[in-house]
Structure 1
Amino acid sequence: MPNVSPSGPPMAASPLTVAVLEIDEYISGLGWDQPARLFALVDTAKLRVQEPGLAAQLGLDSADSPSASLTPIEQDELPPGTALDEFLATIAWPDAVIGCALTVERLMLPPSAEASVPEGLDDAQLTKWVAKHPERQEVRMTVAVLRDGTRESAVRLRAKDTPSEVRTGAGLVPGLADALAATFEA
């Protein structure tokens, strides 16, 4: 998995990787214990042409940014008390949205601890068990997908909360990427 250098994304990073890292940096600036946040991804050059007022409002009215860039646009807050999978099943994106991204914080166990998970727990019981496990780790995952199926993710551990410790890769959070990709299916 590539690391992100403290000075920013790798030089050869794809526009999707750059967008994921921009979102991760933005959310990181808000601190931990944040609700899940959803972003539409739009083509920056098309946004400048089709919505110049919005582009200006977002600070994108100059041609300084690369032509192949994506602009993340944060959406309204997710409804409280709604399961993430249920919420994602209700989304339909307009044609101008070429991708979407989601940030979510979760507790995870290292692979070495997964063998000790008791059998027969329902979701609520499993959540409580993981929350009490001494090897649990808090993570923030930023996952993005494009309409064409391209995927990217960034994972940040709370215990190693620095830009140089953010891990990126297309297959880091496949279940969430699948759920986001389903928002583009008609």
Structure 2
Amino acid sequence: MSEKHQPSTQPDATEGAQDQPEALIAALVEIERHVGQSGWDQPARLFALVRTADLVAAEPHLADQLTVTSEDALSSIEQEDFRDGEDLMTTLAQIGWSESVHGCALALERTFLPAGLEDQIPANPDEAARFVAKHPQRQDVRVVVGSLRDGSSHGLARLVSEPDELLGGTQLVPALASALARTLA
């Protein structure tokens, strides 16, 4: 089930550890906003999620640059050398994080067709990609999915056709959330 999120959602400074999903959602909203500033047609982008308190303790000079510094807040650190390669799931299966990383998130764009058109898509992967890319009913979407070490995950989505609407849910892209969770194991 998806729900709408306001892009300005931020965790409250009084939230406790049980509110990790709220901290995750706030981090994902910030990532989506950051990625969105560069427009569309971007490659996949990977982020480490660290506890903001730990980041400030290790790098005090960063405190002035952070928008949220509550104890349970999460900060994202883009992995600028990330390349998703030929197969995103294979690439993710090769990633592992240090214990200092509390979670991770991935932002990526995809094109999809509405339900009911599956039987028209060619079986050949290259032909299928061309078919979807040229179809008049295609939808372009940016998703940002994150997983934490405690097993929680969440996803956000923005359609290019609905730029002011941010959708989200825990089961938005479950296979991607699971693949991200495995990188934390």
Fold-level similarity (TM above 0.5): yes
1:19: how far off? 0.5
Amino acid at match of 2:106: L
Q: Deviations over 1:122-163 (max 9, x none)?
A: 33332222112221101001000001110010100011112x
Unaligned runs of 5+ in 1: none
Q: What does residue range 22-171 of structure 1 map to in structure 2 within 5 Å?
A: 22-53=30-61, 55-56=62-63, 59-60=65-66, 65-79=69-83, 81-118=85-122, 121-162=123-164, 165-171=165-171
SS of the counterpart of 2:127? helix
1:11: how far off? 7.0
Matched residues, number: 176
Distance 1:175 1:5, change over 3 A: same
- Percent identity over paired residues: 41
Amino acid at match of 2:30: E
Q: Deviations over 1:3-54 (max 9, x none)?
A: 1236x1277870000001110111111100111100000000121123324x
1:80: how far off? 6.8
Q: RMSD of aligned C-alpha atoms?
A: 2.3
SS of the counterpart of 2:4? coil
1:182: how far off? 1.3
- Per the normalisation by structure 2, the TM-score is 0.85
- Structure 2 contact 105–180 (Cα < 8 Å) conserved: yes
- Per the normalisation by structure 1, the TM-score is 0.85
- What is aligned with 1:177? 177
**In structure 2, C-alpha distance between the alignment counterparts of 1:174 and 1:115, rounded to whole Å:** 23
- Structure 1 contact 113–135 (Cα < 8 Å) conserved: no
- Structure 2 contact 44–84 (Cα < 8 Å) conserved: no
